[in-house]
Amino acid sequence: MAGTNLAHAVEITNDAGTYDENVKCLLADKQVLARILKYSVREFRDMTIEEIISSMTGTN
């Protein structure tokens, strides 16, 4: 896979480890979290992925 944060997060979930650690790693990726928010939280439904990511605190 490519060297992106998302690719790294997916690779980690394939390695041995606990379920909680894997979920924490995936949710730490803003791309993943933004998509979860967009498709599961009504307030984010009409926002783009980029808008959701930029609204997260600590975004560069």
Report if residue 24 sits inside a domain: yes
* pTM across the whole model: 0.64
Tokens found for residue 37 = 């928010």
Structural domain count, the chain: 1
Domain that holds residue 26: 5-55
Each of the 60 residues of the chain gets a pLDDT tens digit; together they read: 456 777 777 776 666 567 778 788 888 999 999 999 999 999 999 999 999 999 987 644
DSSP string, 19-36: HHHHHHHHHHSHHHHHHH
Note whether residue 60 is domain-resident: no
